[in-house]
Structure 1
Amino acid sequence: EFGGVLHFLMQAKMEPGNRTLLQLSPTVQATRSNYTKVHRGADVKYIDHFVRPGHGRVLADVLQSEHGSWFLRKSNRNMIVEAVDDVPLLDDFCWLTLGQINDLLHESNTVNMDARTVLSCLPHAGDPRALHSDVELLSWFTAERSRHDVHTRRIPLAETSGWHRGAYSIDHEEGRYFRVVAVDVRAGNREVTRWSQPLFEPVATGVTAFLVREAGGVRHVLAHARVEGGFLDTVELGPTVQYTPDNHAHLTGADRPPFLDAVLAATPERIRYEAVHSEEGGRFLNAESRYLLVDADETTLAADPPPGFRWVSEGQLTSLVRHGHYVNVQARTLLACLHATREPR
C-alpha cells in the first residue's frame, strides 16, 4: 500500500513472440527451470516473495491451466502476495494502482496474458442473486465433465496427416490453424541473454467473447463448457466464443461455431469492451485475439442456452477462478476485462 491504496508491481517484459515486444507482466513470470537456474542464467528478481514463506500475506494462490488447445497439460501457479516490508524498486519495474491497470487493459497489446490471468484471481464480492445457485452451477459443470471422455496420446510428427515440414516451418496443407517456426533470440534484460526455441504461430487473429446480460441487477456471462485436448480434467469453462474465424470460413449453417456470427455482427452499441490482446509471448508468435464483451441480443435472451452453455454470474466466475482448472485462460482474461469495466473510464 502507498497512501492507503494498493499498488501492483509490474514489469516491462520482453517476449520474443510479442508483436509489440514489450508488455506489462506480473512481478515474477518464470518457469521452474528459470528460477532454479537450470540454464545457469541470472537470478529471477523478487522470486523469494513467492517461493519462501514470511515475505508477505498471500491473497491468492492457485494452479491454473494454460491454452488447452495449444499446450498439453500445462499449468501455472498464479499468486498475489501483499508485501509486508519495503520492496526495492528495480530497473524495468513500476508500481501501478488497480485503476491504472484497468485503464491499460482497455489498450491493445499492453498487459500481457500472465498479468491478465493473475489479475482475474483478485477477490471480489459475490452476489447471491445469480440465475443459478452455486450448487446448481457446480452440478451442471460436473455433469458436463462426466459426459465427455477424452484420450490424448503422443504420436511422431511423421505420422500426422495434413501437415508439411518445410525449410523454416511446419504448416497445415490448407494454410489454416497455425505453423511452428524457430527463432533465435538475444535479450540483454533476461535471465538468459541468448537462446533458440520453437514458437507456435497462429495464421490469423482470434475472436474471444462473452455474451453479457443483466439478470436481477447482476451481470451474467454466457459460459461454454469447453473440451480441449490439453486440459488436465477434460472440460473447463470458457468464453461464449473462442475461435479463429478464418479457420471456419468454409463452413455454413449449423456447421458454424455457436454464437460466432452473432458476435461478429454485433453493432457498436452492444459492445461493452473491445481490445486486442496477445497470448503468451514466450511460446507463441504474434498470437493475438480480439477480446470482446457483447450484450446478448433479444434472440439469445429469449431462448434457453444450448447444451454446453450456461449463464454464470460475475461473482460465481470469480469464485471459480480461485480453484484450479475450472476456468480456462481465455475466460480469465475476459473476467479481468469485465472487472475493469466496473467503473466509468
Structure 2
Amino acid sequence: MTQTAAHTERRHSADHLVRRLADSARLRTGAGSVPDWLAERRRSGTFEVRRIPFAELRQWSFAPGSGNLVHDSGRFFSIEGLRVRRDGAADWVQPIIHQPETGILGILAKEIDGVLHFLMQAKMEPGNIGLFQLGPTVQATRSNYTKVHRGQGTRYLEHFIGQRRGRVLTDALQSEQGDSFLRKRNRNMVVETTEDVEEHPDHRWLTLGQINELLTVDNLVNMDARTVLSCLPLPFADGPDPSAARTTAPTDWEVLSWLTELKTRHERTMTRIPLSQVDGLRRSDDEIGPADGRRASVVAASVVAGNREVTSWTQPLLAARRQGLAALVVRRTEGGVEVLVQGLTQPGTFDTVELAPTVQCVTDGYTGLDDPPPFLDHVLGAPPERVRYTALLSEEGGRFHRRDNHYLVVEADDTFSRKLPPSHRWMPLHQLKRFIALGSHVDVEARTLVACLQSLPPEQGWA
C-alpha cells in the first residue's frame, strides 16, 4: 500500500469512528436508571469507610527518620514532603503523593444493535462522595493489577494489556492532579472488541449519549471516566470550515512555542524531602495538615468493600479543606468553537507547564484569595444565560477524601476582554483535542471540562 493510500485509509477510518461516536452520542434516553443501579450495587454488599487514627493503619506506617507515610510492601504510593523553588516566587514545602507507577484507565467499547456502547463500572472508592460512582471498565494501578495486595484479579484487564483482542480507539499517557501528585501519569485507553463480553453485575453497557447525560449530575461520573472520555474524537465536528477566516487561530507549532516560552520563564526545582521536614504542619493522632487551613491534610481511613479485589484494608487519603473551581470560557467563531486556556505550572506536573482551564483554583479554593487569578470574577459573575455547563464533580476517590470541584463552562460575551495576559490564549476546540490525544500536554481539570463540553446536546453546537 502506498503512503498516500495508507493515509486515505486512516482518514476514512477516523471519519467512520466520528460518525459512530455521533450516532452513539445521540442516544441519551435510559440514563435515568443508572443512579438507581449504582444505589443497588451499594446495597448489594457491605461497604463502609470511616476515619481512623494513624495508629490503626495496617501495613502502613511512618518511616523512621523521614516520617514519610509508606506501605510495608514499598509499593502502592507514599506521602512525602516536597520543596518547590521557583524563580520570582517564594519557596514552599508541602505534602505530596509519590506513586512512581503508571496505572490503566480503560473503557471497553462494543457495537450493540448497530450502535457503539461503552462498558462502564459501578466503581467503589473510599474517598468517593456517595461511595459508588460511574467509572471506566478498568481502573487499576500497576500494584493492583499485578496483585501486590494478593487479592483477586482485575476484571476485563485482558482487553488492555498484552495481546489485546480489539481495536485501540485511543491510547495516551495523561497526568493526574499536579497540586497533589508528583509526576503521576495513567494510561488512558478505549479499546473496541467484537467478542462476546459477559456483563458483570458491577458493569453496564451505556451509549455515549447516556454517559453524557449523566455528566450533568453532581458527583456521579468519576474523574477516571472523564479523562478517558476526553481522549475520544469530537463526535459532532469534522474540524473548522476551510473557507473561514482563521487569522487568529494559532498553529500547533505556535502553541508549542508559547508553552515552551512559559516553561523556560517558570523554571523550578522540586526536591523530595522527608515529610517530617515540612514546616507549618499541625499534627494530631488522626490528621496532619497546614496550620493555616489551606491546601490538603493527610488523614487515615478504614475501608470495607465487598466487591473489590481486597475486601478490607486501611490507607491514607488527602482531604481538601475547601471546594475548588475549574472554569472554561468558550466562544463561537467562523472557524468553530474556541476555548480560552492557560499555561499553568503546578508543583507535581511532569514538564513544568500544562494547558489548563481559563480559571483553575483547586488547591486553596476560590474565595478569599490574596491574589485572585485572571477572569475569576468574570466566570463567577456570569449570568445564567451564559452558563453552558455547571456541576460539582469528584476528584480521584482512591487518594482524596470526598474532594470535589465546581466545574463551569461560560460563554464569553461582547464585553469580554480582548487583551489577554501572556499566560492565556484562545485555541480551537479541535486543536485542544489534538493536544489531549498526544498525552501529557493538558491537565486533568481541563480534560474534565472538555468531556463536559462534549457532553452537551449536539443541537447546542458546542462540540
2:448 counterpart of 1:330: no
Query: Normalized against structure 1, the TM-score is what?
Result: 0.95
Contact 2:296 / 2:320 at 8 angstroms: preserved in 1? yes
1:19 equivalent among 107, 126, 129:
129
Q: Secondary structure at the match of 1:184?
A: strand
Distance in 2 of aligned mates of 1:58 and 1:100: 22
TM alignment of 1:160-179, pairs within 5 A: 160-179=278-297
What does residue 232 of structure 2 align with?
Answer: 122
Contact 2:119 / 2:204 at 8 angstroms: preserved in 1? yes
What does residue 263 of structure 1 align with?
Answer: 379
What does residue 334 of structure 2 align with?
Answer: 216
Q: Select between 291-300 and 230-239 the one with higher mean Cα deviation.
A: 291-300
Contact 1:126 / 1:319 at 8 angstroms: preserved in 2? no
Contact 2:323 / 2:365 at 8 angstroms: preserved in 1? no
Task: Write the letter of the residue equivalent to 1:62.
Answer: A
1:178 deviation in Å?
Answer: 1.7
What are the superposed Cα offsets for residues 117-169 of structure 1, whole Å, 9 maximum, x if unpaired?
00001023433666222232222222222322121111222322221111210
Larger Rg: 2
Q: Secondary structure at the match of 1:335?
A: helix
TM alignment of 1:129-208, pairs within 5 A: 131-208=249-326
What are the superposed Cα offsets for residues 77-104 of structure 1, whole Å, 9 maximum, x if unpaired?
0000001211111121000000100101
Q: Secondary structure at the match of 2:160?
A: helix
Distance in 2 of aligned mates of 1:52 and 1:90: 22
Contact 2:125 / 2:132 at 8 angstroms: preserved in 1? yes
2:182 counterpart of 1:72: yes
Distance in 2 of aligned mates of 1:229 and 1:87: 42
1:205 deviation in Å?
Answer: 1.1
What are the superposed Cα offsets for residues 190-232 of structure 1, whole Å, 9 maximum, x if unpaired?
0011111111111121111101111215111110101011111
What does residue 294 of structure 1 align with?
Answer: 410
Q: Secondary structure at the match of 2:149?
A: coil
- Sequence identity (%): 53
Contact 2:135 / 2:221 at 8 angstroms: preserved in 1? yes
Residue 85 and residue 249 in structure 1: after superposition, are their counterparts in 2 closer, same or farther (change >3 A)? closer
Distance in 1 of aligned mates of 2:364 and 2:151: 40
1:267 deviation in Å?
Answer: 1.2
What does residue 23 of structure 2 align with?
Answer: none
2:354 equivalent among 225, 236, 242:
236
1:343 deviation in Å?
Answer: 1.6
Contact 1:272 / 1:295 at 8 angstroms: preserved in 2? yes
Distance in 2 of aligned mates of 1:230 and 1:244: 14
Contact 1:213 / 1:221 at 8 angstroms: preserved in 2? yes
Instruction: Structure 2: give runs of 5+ residues left out of the alignment.
Output: 1-110
Residue 38 and residue 244 in structure 1: after superposition, are their counterparts in 2 closer, same or farther (change >3 A)? closer
Instruction: Structure 1: give runs of 5+ residues left out of the alignment.
Output: none
What does residue 400 of structure 2 align with?
Answer: 284
Distance in 1 of aligned mates of 2:447 and 2:362: 18
Task: Write the letter of the residue equivalent to 2:160.
Answer: F
2:141 counterpart of 1:34: no
* Matched pairs, number: 342
Distance in 2 of aligned mates of 1:340 and 1:250: 32
What does residue 197 of structure 2 align with?
Answer: 87
What are the superposed Cα offsets for residues 28-85 of structure 1, whole Å, 9 maximum, x if unpaired?
0001111111111101000000002241000111111100111001010000000121
Residue 24 and residue 251 in structure 1: after superposition, are their counterparts in 2 closer, same or farther (change >3 A)? closer
Alignment RMSD, CA only? Answer: 1.7
What does residue 48 of structure 1 align with?
Answer: 158
1:245 deviation in Å?
Answer: 8.9
Q: Secondary structure at the match of 1:158?
A: helix
Q: Select between 140-149 and 103-112 the one with higher mean Cα deviation.
A: 140-149
Q: Select between 93-102 and 151-160 the one with higher mean Cα deviation.
A: 151-160
2:431 equivalent among 309, 316, 328:
316
Q: Select between 36-45 and 148-157 the one with higher mean Cα deviation.
A: 148-157
Query: Greater relative contact order (Cα 8 A, min sep 6): structure 1 or 2?
Result: 1
Q: Secondary structure at the match of 2:219?
A: coil
Task: Write the letter of the residue equivalent to 1:273.
Answer: Y
Distance in 2 of aligned mates of 1:90 and 1:3: 19
Contact 1:110 / 1:277 at 8 angstroms: preserved in 2? yes
Contact 1:278 / 1:288 at 8 angstroms: preserved in 2? yes
Contact 2:158 / 2:164 at 8 angstroms: preserved in 1? no
